[in-house]
Amino acid sequence: MRYPVAVTASIFSIALYFTLFWGFDGLRILTSSTYGLEDAWRSQTVYWIARWTGLGPHGLLHLAALFGVLKLAAATVCAIHIGDRLRCFKTGKPDADILELALLLVVILSIVSVAPAIWQHDAALIRACTLNLVLASLAAALGALERMEEETQAVDSREAAVAAEAAPLDAEAAQAKPVSAWFSPWR
């Protein structure tokens, strides 16, 4: 990999972004008495889904609480990934599955949130949801690049170990068997 530090720093910063912004938003939703429904701009998705599915007032509150819990869960998983990256800073490799779980939650919530924004032609909400989708896809691509590089290094080290083990055997075999022509059908 040409820039392993840049890839690691980018993944770390994207995970930190989702930890901070989605964590505070999830906490804001869950600590509010109306589960964040008082903020009309941020809760447009919840209102739209409730209207589309025909939910009543209690269903609307449960849906808003679900959005808060899912945002907080995504932020928590990103925080766990950050902790895993810090733990593996000097040695070892972080678990990529943790990051993929967080990114999956981000993508699902962003897609669910962008649909009402598109339906209502709300450019600001579309931009916010699209930013989350772009950051999640960038982190997933960088994570795949990082994992591919780690697998390539592991394969190279295994091939070098096999070649080192086979080198003495090849020297013994070359001494024991005479070298023949490249094409000898009668031998």
Residue range 83-106, pLDDT digits in tens: 998 888 776 778 888 889 999 999
pLDDT of 80 strictly over 70:
yes
What's the confidence (pLDDT) of residue 121?
A: 85
Domain assignment present for residue 124? The answer is yes
d(CA 11, CA 40): 32
Task: Provide the pLDDT confidence category of residue 181 given band limits of 50, 70 and 90.
Answer: low
- Provide the token pair at 45: 């998705």
Query: Given pLDDT bands bounded at 50, 70 and 90, which one contains residue 81?
Result: very high
Express each pLDDT in 46-79 by its tens digit.
Answer: 888 898 889 898 999 999 999 999 999 999 999 9
For residue 167, tell me if it sits in a domain: no
Tell me if 71 sits within 8 A of 29, measured CB to CB: yes
> Residue 61 falls within a domain, yes or no?
yes
pLDDT at 175: 61
Query: Where in 18-167 does DSSP place strands (E)?
Result: none
Integer Cα distance of 75 and 69 in angstroms: 10
Spatial distance between the Cα atoms of 68 and 25, rounded to a whole number of angstroms: 7
User: Whose CA is closest to 58, among 88, 39, 37, 85?
Assistant: 37
Q: How far is CA 149 from CA 4, 53, 60, 92, in A?
A: 9, 45, 46, 14
Q: Which domain holds residue 120?
A: 4-153
Residue 23 covered by a domain: yes
> Is the entire prediction scored with pTM above 0.85?
no
- Calculate mean pLDDT across residues 7-15: 91
Residue 179 inside a domain? The answer is no
Least confident of 6-10, 11-15, 57-61, 151-155: 151-155
Question: How far is C-alpha 157 from the geometric centre of its chain's CA atoms?
Answer: 27
Q: Which residues, 6+ apart, have CB-to-CB distance to 144 below 8 Å?
A: none
| pLDDT-wise least confident of 119-128, 132-141, 152-161 | 152-161
35: which 2 tokens? Answer: 């589960």
Supply the pLDDT for residue 18. 95
**Is residue 62 domain-resident?**
yes
pLDDT of residue 166: 64
Residue 29 · residue 35 · CB < 8 Å: yes
Q: Is residue 144 part of a domain?
A: yes
Q: Is residue 117 part of a domain?
A: yes
Name the domain count of the chain.
Answer: 1
Residue 70: how many other CB atoms lie within 10 Å: 18
